[in-house]
Amino acid sequence: MKSLVTLRIPSLQLGGSALQDGPMEVTNRSAQERFKQWLPYLSSATVTFLVLALLTGVLLGANFVPSLGAYDSTRQITYQTSFGWAVRGLHWWASSLTLVCSLAFTALAYWYGYFRGPAKWMWWTGLVMGLMLLGANVTGYYLPLDQNAYWRLMIEANLLADVPVLGAAVKYFLLNGSGVSDASIARIHWLHSVVMPLFTVLALFSHVYAARKAKLF
């Protein structure tokens, strides 16, 4: 019996005494170490794709006209502007991959318990960043204003109107009334190109600060 105990105790010692810390503390540290292995990869991928999405977004915004003629403006960018199709494709992929990496980071952090304790602000700011990226992807889908985008906007706006308290007000803000207009596309473009990116970058800096304060890297 004594030999079994002496063999098992070292396997539980991860930077401290297993007898002093207990199995739960040791297990938590082990989970945190596994999470830290993925942290640099997911963080680097998120930032890289975000920068690429922002740069390509600036290039697209220089030629895009946010109005009821957005469909024609999108076609002109895609087929008549030099490398417009490539910039638009890169923007779509970069935006999508930024969202995927951000949500994967947030999900892993939740799985390993980082939503509480010293690193909780890292998790919450990461969640805010993920929500802003999701909002940017949703609003970006509307902007080309093809048939799919138009009807999706109308259906989702009507569904949004059924949300208690603020739903009807948000629908009115987006559509500037009951239907899609120049003001509607201008507001959606403003949300997509200004509001969402601004809060995403702010959340990113807050996220990095919270992670460094929690000594995760």
Domains located in the chain, CATH noted: 24-213 (1.20.810.10)
Give pLDDT, residue 14. Answer: 39
Q: Are 201 and 209 in contact (CB under 8 A)?
A: no
Total H helices, total E strands in the chain: 10, 0
Q: Are 149 and 75 in contact (CB under 8 A)?
A: no
Give pLDDT, residue 29. Answer: 62
Give pLDDT, residue 41. Answer: 87
Give pLDDT, residue 28. Answer: 59
Tokens of 113: 């318990």
Chain centroid to Cα 142, Å, comes to 18
Q: Are 97 and 178 in contact (CB under 8 A)?
A: no
User: What is each CA distance from 81 to 60, 102, 145, in whole angstroms?
Assistant: 10, 31, 19
**Per-residue confidence in pLDDT tens, the chain, 217 aa:** 444 444 443 433 434 443 344 334 445 566 667 666 777 788 899 999 999 999 999 999 999 999 999 999 999 999 999 999 999 999 999 999 999 999 999 998 888 888 888 888 999 999 999 999 999 999 999 999 999 999 999 999 989 888 888 888 888 888 877 789 999 999 999 999 999 999 999 999 999 899 888 777 6
Give pLDDT, residue 100. Answer: 96
Q: Which region holds residue 22: left if phi is over 0, alpha if psi is between -120 and 50, else beta?
A: left
Cα-Cα-Cα-Cα dihedral of 11, 33, 35, 200, to 10°? 160
Give pLDDT, residue 9. Answer: 35
Nearest in space to 167 (alpha carbons), one of 176, 154, 158: 158
Give pLDDT, residue 202. Answer: 97
Q: Are 64 and 77 in contact (CB under 8 A)?
A: yes
Give pLDDT, residue 166. Answer: 87
